[in-house]
Amino acid sequence: MTGLSIAPGKTVQAGQQLMALGSGQEIEIVVHLDQNDLYLVDLGTTATAEVSNQTIMGQVSSIYPEVKDDKISSFLAHIKLTNNQDDLLKPGMPVNVRIDTGQSVTVPAVPTASIFQDEQGRNFIYVVANGTAVRQQISIGETIGDFTEITSNVPQEIMVITSNVNEIKNGDAIVVMQ
């Protein structure tokens, strides 16, 4: 905030700027946390936001309870940005946020090239079952490099067809080469 002190009895001219306030629009990201997540996130925890294929760094600056119907329904983590260069992030803009909790998990992933979509935008893979190609609908998560996370439940030891998926049809005979 910038201010100007005026002494009693001093004259002020019409249109003279006396004070300028900041815009009040310092952008923060607000993320909902469940009770279980609350124990993994502390003040100062590092966070990254992806917007327009660029990464913006930040830190958790505050955590407040969200109260609905006189009950705490979740917690809100406020992330202060440390490098919003060129005002890349604007108010109301959707972003993908990662909060570094120090925890890691193993997730099922398949080569991105083995995933295909139907006309409705649903995602599928072909798996091998009893020597035939079986089309299986999946839900997908994050893509890193050449692999995409599968967020739906799939059996652990399935064989996913990873080549020629555009030429395969449901029920085609498959020869597994090892």
Q: What is the pLDDT of residue 16?
A: 57
Q: What is the mean pLDDT of residues 53-66?
A: 84
- Show the tokens assigned to 32: 């909902």
Residue 49 CB contacts under 8 Å (≥ 6 apart), including other chains? 29, 55, 56, 57, 58, 79, 81, 89, 95, 96, 97, 98
**CATH class entry, domain 105-178:** mainly beta
pLDDT range class, residue 3, cuts 50, 70, 90: very low
Q: What is the pLDDT of residue 137?
A: 92
The domain limits of the chain are 28-99, 105-178
Separation of alpha carbons 30 and 97, rounded Å: 10
Q: What is the pLDDT of residue 22?
A: 46
- What's 2's DSSP letter? B
- Show the tokens assigned to 49: 């936001």
Q: What is the pLDDT of residue 53?
A: 77
Q: In the Cβ-directed half-sphere of 161, how many Cα atoms lie within 13 Å?
A: 27
For 28-99, CATH number out of 2.40.30.170, 3.40.30.10, 1.20.90.10, 3.40.50.300 equals: 2.40.30.170
Q: What is the pLDDT of residue 19?
A: 52
DSSP tally for the chain: helices H, then strands E: 1, 11
Is pLDDT of 2 > 50? no
Q: What is the pLDDT of residue 12?
A: 64
Is pLDDT of 146 > 80? yes
Other Cβ atoms closer than 10 A to 168: 15
